Amino acid sequence: MSAAAAPALLRLLAWLSPAFPTGGYAWSHGIEWAVETNEVRDGATLRAWVEDVLRHGGGHNDAVILRHAHRAAGEVDGLAGIAELALASQPSRERRAESVGQGNAFLAAATAWRPRTLRVLADRVGDLPYQVAVGALAGAQGIPEDDVVLGFLQAFAANLISAAVRLVPLGQSTGLAVLAALEPAILAVAEVTANKTLDDIGGACFRSDIAAMRHETQYTRLFRS
């Protein structure tokens, strides 16, 4: 690795680490309802659920939006339109809260990297979607787009798996096995989104969307989504 590329990698590892204070551990993306209804109950069902979300739901859409935010880094007008689309594409109240909760927390935590454009954008749109915040700051810092998408999708999948490990419960070994098995899906989603436009936002992961809506009225909840 070149000396010029090393700082970019360090920043990406820091921002997408579970230790970076975005509060991702508090959100399950509907997994909690899926566990309650026994649709996610073991490693196999967890893998199938998360893979569908990656390929056909939030993972795919977030990757497309992140790519365009990365390309528009520094252009507040362009980023504002992307942020508005990201908010409008959320299928439920909790999904919207999940996105902006992490996005606003990401902006606050990234102060050390001087995210001036993100602050201007947040002042304009009010709430900052997480995938837009990560993409825009990574673009401004010169971190390669493909690296950011891969890291983001890996962190997204790992967070859902972590929620299921605590909820089902599953052992850490099972969770890690699921994450390893999802590598082909993560790579495929990163590749397929490379040339997609914002008009390609959409999906067919209806059960996950319903889970997010049902979670809003779930009687017992450990997670915020």
CA distance 188 to 90: 23
Q: Which residues of 185-195 are buried (b: 16+ CB within 10 A; e: fewer)?
A: bbeebbeebee
- Does 64 reside within a domain? yes
Task: For residue 43, give the CATH number of its domain.
Answer: 1.10.4190.10
pLDDT at position 30 is 96
Can you give the pTM of this predicted structure? Answer: 0.96
CB contact set of 114 (below 8 Å; sequence gap of 6+): none
Instruction: Give the model confidence (pLDDT) of 124-139 as tens digits.
Output: 999 999 999 999 999 9
Q: What are phi and psi of 4, to 5 degrees?
A: -70, -30
- Token code pair at residue 105: 């927390």
Angle 206-215/43-56 helices, nearest 10 degrees? 110
Angle at 167 (CA atoms; ends 162, 169), nearest 5 degrees: 90
Asked, for residue 190, whether it belongs to a domain, the answer is yes
In this structure, the dihedral spanned by the alpha carbons of residues 139, 141, 144 and 150, taken in order and rounded to 10 degrees, is -80
The answer as to whether 134 is a domain residue is yes
pLDDT of residue 196: 98
What is the total count of domains within the chain? 1
Residues of the chain with pLDDT under 70: 1-4
Predicted local confidence at residue 203, as pLDDT: 86
Helices (H), 126-215: 130-140, 145-167, 172-181, 183-192, 206-215
Q: What angle do CA 200, 202, 207 make, to 5 degrees?
A: 155
d(CA 150, CA 126): 28
Residue 2, pLDDT score: 58
**Cβ-proximal residues to 95 (8 Å cutoff; 6+ apart), any chain:** 29, 58, 209, 212, 225
CA angle 55, 200, 147 (to 5 degrees): 60
Which pLDDT belongs to residue 211? 94
The residue segments making up the domain with residue 100 are 29-215
How many whole angstroms from its chain centre is CA 12?
A: 14
Rounded Cα gap, residues 101 and 131, in angstroms = 11
- Residue 108: closest CA among 122, 97, 89: 122
Q: Does residue 33 belong to any structural domain of this protein?
A: yes
Task: Give residue 5's pLDDT.
Answer: 76
Q: Is residue 22 part of a domain?
A: no
Say if 13 falls within a structural domain: no
Task: Classify residue 53: in a domain, yes or no.
Answer: yes
150 inside domain: yes
Q: Are 115 and 48 in contact (CB under 8 A)?
A: no
pLDDT in tens, 172-215: 999 999 999 999 999 999 999 999 999 999 988 999 999 999 99
